[in-house]
Structure 1
């Protein structure tokens, strides 16, 4: 954070700033009610001009820039054919700038990044290009890579061909990021950038992939928020990969775009870690500790507030209430003499009311009717093995599955949590069983990756691979249970390559072949991990794995789709 040394001056001028912004807000309201009174816009522009001057004196660059943009928007409203949108944006900006000035006064510190979003909203409404998230970040972007990159082992003439597949891998991950499937997709993006960085070696463009890798690692390590600006940065990386594909050596020899370098280093500066690649970039660019992304998001929340998912909250509350009801029934089935069936009936009525609120009318009517029956039950007269008792249990299972179905409407669909038509099976319990199998499959894949790493480190000692085929057979069985046939076929191809080319073939595979095999296996791992996180990355990642196997000479034959 940047300390405000003239806090006394800010406190002294704060009342005047508030009064000026209030005057501009009143004038804007008058204009919005009667657009013929264009003179009110001049009052607004003059007020914003005054605020800008004061903020420049107080050395608040973000506030000064925002006031300048507000002045320009106020002047442009009169020339706009549809001024309503610009008036709304300007009104929001007045509120945000007032909150920011109050924040600076209370915290005695300025975070100019807090106003980047507001400034961009003003520029967007005026049809102007947006400023970068790193606009207020200062760093020498001409610094060289430290330590220097090793020369590429791949001939530069092969870079275009190999980057084409790496771009496909990158785009699959990028598409997942843009859809909100963040973590697993980012891992795929990170792997693609690492491969491209090795392919470029010590070429001038390699500096970009070095800082880009660090930026993505920072996003992953701290689980940073993926703002529109950060998604745009990832899209710009894709354009640079495209240059490598189509321009080849000319793109390799070109200098890294300085704006992308700056944006990447800015993200690295927000990371809490100082080790590994992130630490390398921080040291190379002399990045000083400022604040983390977590702190930035907390301060943004203080200024703008935060929301949550009502549906998920209601679903969680319903599950807790269902668990309480089931616990009561379990105790009653075991012969508890103090079961209060009247209280249980009241709970069922409340449950029915909540179901009505979320649109589950059929289930609510069923539970309400069951509550009337339960109210007539008496201790010692209820048979836990009787039809009425079991009917209540079935109704609760129906409600539980209705709540689970409701949750799924607000979560990405995937192949693991597919629809189940047997209403006598608890969806939550079935999902838990499937997730257990997914976890076991991932454990087998992790063991395979460790074995491959040991194989490479030992200069091709095949002993490290002796158990890999049997491990992959077990994983394939799990994928068969999960009905993930495409992923299973890919893993079978990997197993055949290991058995036929690595265990019985003559000579050890070259490093590029090992990397390609790792791409295929890692893609399956990412695919399963996305299922665990309930943010499925989609089948596109499987295409990357299939391309990798095809390059190894083991193309995957897809099963014909049912008509």
Structure 2
């Protein structure tokens, strides 16, 4: 199966996988058991039984053309075979365990339609290879694509003189910044400037396609979805060798055919990118990459890969559901026959077990619901119907973890997501206020109310957005500005005074400044709010006098 398949190819692979799914799961489960047994007894017979399961899986994956799964099984077989006499060490045992777990999860993702690519298994393959002191496979190893498409090449530059020594210094500076992990924006921009010079110098030569693809790969790495991993830094580091060859040949190396392996790795990054820039759009079209999965989707799958598999979630949910069913039976019996009603202590004991289990897997909101029921029972204010409703809600949350393939319910918002949402709200609000200022400036210059027709709506939208930031006073201010526009500008036959419009513009500018520096408390945000409030006082005084 080629890396980054089309939707049709993915569906075909999933259909084929369905046919042998039980056999694959059975083999993986048996392999996991053999690893557990080996960690206890260290028996050579046990590890040979594990190898037999892996060989069986390799044959199945070969039949399915699942190249990444087949390669992982080959690496495991070869590495463990070499270790039979000396014994499997802890590192190899951990790598083997990860291989079994990740293969099982990967199969689940394919069957459930989650976005995958064989490259997701590259880190695990390299973990196994490391036990034999073998060099790791590159990220795009399984990526298959035409590397010789027809591209409209720009004409050669009139002046192709390049200060190669300076370009190498820029490359090394950018690489050093990435290696130090001090953020990717600055280092990548330095790398982009260096590669742009090489791309321009390469126009009209055999090497142009390579440097154009490298430029596209750097565009890709600048996108928010991309992580600059050590493997990707190492890939960019290989450009230094290319520039050294160009320097030694005074540009003559541009006419040499670039390395296909290196071109493929940079093209893989291009394939993962969202086609946001003109260059990426052209490359996606020319290399026929439009149907490929993107880094945005793979990043989610990559995180899920290390989570519990579906069988573990099902087992956990069933255990909890059994406890909940027993609790529901007790409540039902109490409703039907009050003489046989359960003691409060029995209800509390079962609910505490449920709550403790939920806390262990970080389902805190559901655990709090169970704790609330316990408090009601202890207070002697038990409402049987209300109790039954709460139990049903707990049961629904437990069932949802199987459907969502995640232990954390949808109601839990992690801090990173919350931070990202804050950034998005602030960014959109600042953009809206910039448009408001432009519209008001156009109105002041021309007196045409059409310019401010949508200003009230924009202010109202921003006022709604700042609720998310917990700024009720700021929202009131924005609503008051909206009211001024609607009543004193749009509905009034008399234009507001210049002083009023100045006060309005000052208030909007101050709010914009506050939002733009929202994440930098030391940037004078509180002073901006104070200025906005002073402008509002002038605005109120002005239009009341009018």
Compute the TM-score of the two structures, normalised by the length of structure 1: 0.50
Q: How big is the shift at 1:263?
A: 1.4
From 231, 236, 239, give the equivalent of 1:237: 239
RMSD: 2.6
- Confirm or deny that 1:22 pairs with 2:29: yes
Q: Between Structure 1 and Structure 2, which shows a larger proportion of helix residues? A: 2
Alignment of 1:76-475 (within 5 A): 76-79=82-85, 83-107=89-113, 111-144=117-150, 146-154=151-159, 158-159=161-162, 162-180=163-181, 181-273=183-275, 275-305=277-307
CA contact (8 A) 1:4 1:109 kept: no
> For residues 215 and 14 of structure 2, what CA distance do their matches in structure 1 show?
40
Match of 2:356 in 1: none
CA contact (8 A) 1:27 1:44 kept: yes
- Confirm or deny that 1:71 pairs with 2:66: no
| Other structure's SS at 1:3 match | helix
* Distance change in 2, residues 1:282/1:127 (3 Å): same
> For residues 35 and 87 of structure 2, what CA distance do their matches in structure 1 show?
17
| Other structure's SS at 2:198 match | helix
| Other structure's SS at 1:5 match | helix
Which segments of 5 or more consecutive residues in structure 2 lack a partner in the other structure?
Answer: 309-518, 521-546
> For residues 6 and 233 of structure 1, what CA distance do their matches in structure 2 show?
30
CA contact (8 A) 1:27 1:40 kept: yes
> For residues 187 and 165 of structure 1, what CA distance do their matches in structure 2 show?
15
From 57, 61, 64, give the equivalent of 1:55: 61
Match of 1:41 in 2: 47
Higher deviation after alignment, 21-30 or 162-171: 21-30
* Distance change in 2, residues 1:209/1:24 (3 Å): same
CA contact (8 A) 1:4 1:110 kept: no
> For residues 295 and 114 of structure 1, what CA distance do their matches in structure 2 show?
12
Q: How big is the shift at 1:195?
A: 1.3
* Distance change in 2, residues 1:59/1:69 (3 Å): same
Q: How big is the shift at 1:274?
A: 5.2
Deviations 1:453-509 (A, max 9, x none): xxxxxxxxxxxxxxxxxxxxxxxxxxxxxxxxxxxxxxxxxxxxxxxxxxxxxxxxx
Deviations 1:22-42 (A, max 9, x none): 22223223333444x222222
| Other structure's SS at 2:136 match | coil
* Distance change in 2, residues 1:80/1:152 (3 Å): farther
> For residues 92 and 154 of structure 2, what CA distance do their matches in structure 1 show?
49
Match of 2:38 in 1: 31
CA contact (8 A) 2:55 2:77 kept: yes
Q: How big is the shift at 1:19?
A: 2.5
Q: How big is the shift at 1:176?
A: 0.8
> For residues 185 and 80 of structure 1, what CA distance do their matches in structure 2 show?
46
Q: How big is the shift at 1:201?
A: 3.0
> For residues 85 and 254 of structure 2, what CA distance do their matches in structure 1 show?
47
CA contact (8 A) 1:3 1:108 kept: no
| Other structure's SS at 2:12 match | coil
> For residues 198 and 14 of structure 2, what CA distance do their matches in structure 1 show?
49
| Other structure's SS at 2:233 match | helix
CA contact (8 A) 1:17 1:51 kept: yes
Which structure is higher in RCO with an 8 Å CA cutoff and minimum separation 6? Answer: 1
> For residues 69 and 32 of structure 1, what CA distance do their matches in structure 2 show?
20
CA contact (8 A) 2:115 2:298 kept: no
Deviations 1:373-400 (A, max 9, x none): xxxxxxxxxxxxxxxxxxxxxxxxxxxx
| Other structure's SS at 1:132 match | coil
> For residues 146 and 262 of structure 2, what CA distance do their matches in structure 1 show?
13
| Other structure's SS at 2:222 match | helix
Match of 2:499 in 1: none
* Distance change in 2, residues 1:50/1:297 (3 Å): same
CA contact (8 A) 1:152 1:198 kept: yes
* Distance change in 2, residues 1:221/1:43 (3 Å): same
* Distance change in 2, residues 1:178/1:6 (3 Å): closer
Compute the TM-score of the two structures, normalised by the length of structure 2: 0.51
> For residues 190 and 77 of structure 2, what CA distance do their matches in structure 1 show?
44
> For residues 281 and 9 of structure 1, what CA distance do their matches in structure 2 show?
32
> For residues 215 and 108 of structure 1, what CA distance do their matches in structure 2 show?
25
Deviations 1:187-232 (A, max 9, x none): 1111110012223332222322111011101111344111222112
* Distance change in 2, residues 1:305/1:187 (3 Å): farther
CA contact (8 A) 2:246 2:254 kept: yes
